[in-house]
Structures are given as structure tokens and as C-alpha cells.
Structure 1
Amino acid sequence: MLYIFDLGNVIVDIDFNRVMGVWSDLSRVPLANLQNSFVMGEAFHRHERGQITDEEFAAAVCDEMGMALSFDQFAAGWQAVFVALRPEVIAVMKQLREKGHRVVVLSNTNRLHTNFWPGEYPEIAEAADKIYLSQEMGTRKPEPEIYLKLLQEEGTPADRAIFFDDNADNIKGAQQVGITSILVTGKETIPAYFANNPC
């Protein structure tokens, strides 16, 4: 079987309020204002597809949110999204590989984050056979193309894959191409799934 794991709030806890907190401190824009104006809009999506640079993304977000930040200040806040690794999921990934299954990560991400988390959490690469990143694939979840590209690369039919993600739209996108998909609603979801479905 091919097991596909999302990154944020599946393998690593993330919290965008931490990002807003840093940006608020650096820009002096009230936190509530930033929280109200932050949206994952077109610039966000284009950045995840690798269609715009980090600098273009930072400028667009700062403009949308009324923040006067340098690129380094923006990046400092952007990296603050990562909270902590979920060791119970890393353990599951390693166990799956030990049993002969293929384990990969599929993440909607961007260069700014991939310059940070691999060094911060080397356990992720150690627990996965391959890491698929939206910015390198030119498409993002929940677009069907990203799942089809991954399956083609892995040489695996959809009915031999299981996908874990915390975003309901991403789950629907994977289901549309025939992948069994599990919505991760908390830290207990993945351990509980494998307790009930031993492989």
C-alpha cells in the first residue's frame, strides 16, 4: 500500500496565530486587525504552486494586510507557524515502512517554509520514502492534478493508496480521483485509525 501524509497539523502542529503575533509585534498593527485581514487568497495559492517568488508573495501579503515589514521580518513571522513534531505519527510512518509499505508526504507548501522545516524536523525525511511539495509540482491540493501526478510518479493505482489530511477540501479532492482519504481532526486520529485497521 501507498500511505500519503499531509504535513501541517498531521505530522507537525502548525498555528497561524503565532505568525500573526510576530507580524503584529514587528509592524505595530493590532493583532486583531491582522487576524481579520489574513486570507489564503490568490497570492497564497500561486506561491504554493511555485508561480511567484518569496519576495513577491511577501510584498502581496504585506500590501493586503497593511503591514510595513522588511522581507526578513516577514519571513521571521512566516516561519513561526511551526509548533512541534507529532512523534506518534512519525512512529506510525516508520512502522509502515518496516512492514514494506511505501510512505510519502504530500504538502501544500512554499520555498520560505521548505527552507526552514527540513532542518528543524529532520525526522520527517527520515520517516518518509519521498516528500512531494506543491511548489515543485506546479499544482496544489485539492486540485486533482496533484494527486494524479503523485500516483503516476509512485506507479500506484488510486485504490492502493490511503491519504491523511486535516483539510476537508483536500480530502474531497483525493476522493474524487479514487484515493481512500481520512480527515485528521486531532492528534489521536492517525494512531486510532491504525489501531482499528492494522496493516
Structure 2
Amino acid sequence: MLYIFDLGNVIVDIDFNRVLGVWSDYSRVPLASLQQNFRMDEPFHQHERGEISDEAFAQQLCAQMSLPLSFEQFSAGWQAVFVGIRKEVIDIMHKLRAAGHRVVVLSNTNRLHTTYWPEQYPEVHAAADAIYLSQDMGLRKPEPAIYQRVLEQEQVPASEAVFFDDNAENIEGARQVGITAVHVKDKTTLPDYFATVTC
């Protein structure tokens, strides 16, 4: 089997409120205002597909949110999204590989984040056979083409793949191409799932 794991809130806990908190501290713009104005819209999606640079994304987002930040301040906040590793998921990934399964990561991310999390959480690379990132592929979840690309690269039919993600839209995108998809709603989802599945 091919097991495909999302990164954020599946393997690594993330929290965008931490990002907004850092930006609020730097800019003195009230946190409530930032929470109201922060949107994952087209520039966000373009950034995840690698279509615009980190600097261009920062400039657009700061203009959208009326944030007077330097790129360094923007970056410091952007990296604050990462909270910590879910060790229990890393253990599951290792167990799956030891049983002969293929284990990969498929993440919507961006260049700026990949300057941080691979060094901060080397356990992710150590537990995966391959890592597929949206900005390298020019695609992002839930676009069906990104799941098809992973299946082609792995040379596995959709019927032999299982995908885990915390986003319902991404789950639906995977199901559209025939992949079994499990919605990760909290930290108990994966341990509970594998408690009933023989590796």
C-alpha cells in the first residue's frame, strides 16, 4: 500500500493564530483586526504553487492587511505557524515502512516554510520515502491533478493508496481520483485508524 500523509495538523501541529500574533506584536495592529482580514485567497494559492516569490507574497499580504512589516518581520511571523511534531504519527510512519509499505508526504506549502520545517523537524524526512511539495509540483490540493501526479510518480493505482489530511476539501479531492481518504479531525484520528488496520 501507499500511505500519503499531509504535513500540517497531521504530522506537525500548526496554528495560524501564532503567525498573526507575531505580526501584531511587530506592527502594533490589533490581533482581532488581523484575524478578520487574513484570507487564504488567490495570492496564498499562487504562493503554494510556486507561482510567486516569497517577497511578492509578503508584499501582497501586507498590503491586503495594512501591515507595516519588513520582509524579515513577515518571515519571522510566517515561521511561527509551526507548533511541534506529532511523535505518535512519526512512529506510525516508521511502522508502516518496516512492514513494507510506501510512505510519502504531500503538503501544500511554500519556499519560505521549507527553509524552516525540514531543519526544525528532521524526523519528517527520516520517516518518509518521499516528500511531495505543492510549490515544486506547480499544483496544490485539492486539485485532482496533484494526487494523480503522486500516484504516477509512485507507480501505484488509486485503489492501493490511502491519504490522510485535516482539510475536508483535500479529502474530497483525493476521493475524486479514487484514493481512500481519511479526514484527520484531531490527534486521535490516526492512532485510532491504525488500531483497527493491520500494518
Q: Fold-level match, TM-score > 0.5?
A: yes
Give the aligned partner of residue 95 of structure 1.
95
CA distance in 2, matches of 1:159, 1:63: 45
Task: Name the counterpart of 2:155.
Answer: 155
Separation in structure 2 between the aligned mates of residue 115 and residue 159 of structure 1, nearest angstrom: 34
Following superposition of structure 1 onto structure 2, how do residues 41-190 of structure 1 map, counting pairs within 5 Å?
41-190=41-190
Structure 2 CA distance for aligned equivalents of residues 78 and 49 of structure 1: 17
Within 1, Cα distance between the matches of 2:85 and 2:69?
29
What TM-score, normalized by structure 2, do the two folds share? Answer: 1.00
- Mapped to 2, the partners of 1:162 and 1:66 lie a distance apart of 42
| Displacement of 1:197 | 1.4
Identity of paired residues, percent?
A: 67
Query: What is the TM-score when the length of structure 1 is the normalising length?
Result: 1.00
Which consecutive aligned stretches of 4+ in structure 1 deviate over 4 angstroms post-superposition? Answer: none
Aligned residue type for 1:23: W
Task: Read off the aligned partner of 1:144 and give its amino acid letter.
Answer: P
Question: 1:26 and 2:1 equivalent?
Answer: no
Rounded Cα–Cα distance in structure 2 between residues aligned with 1:108 and 1:190: 20
The code of the aligned residue for 1:47 comes to H
Number of equivalenced pairs: 199
Structure 1 distance, partners of 2:79, 2:144, is: 28
SS at match of 2:10: coil
TM-fit CA distance, 1:198: 1.7
Distance 1:136 1:92 in 2: 26
Cα distance in 2 for residues equivalent to 1:54 and 1:7: 20
Distance in 2 (CA, whole Å) between partners of 1:196 and 1:150 is: 26
RMSD: 0.4
5+ long unaligned stretches in structure 2: none
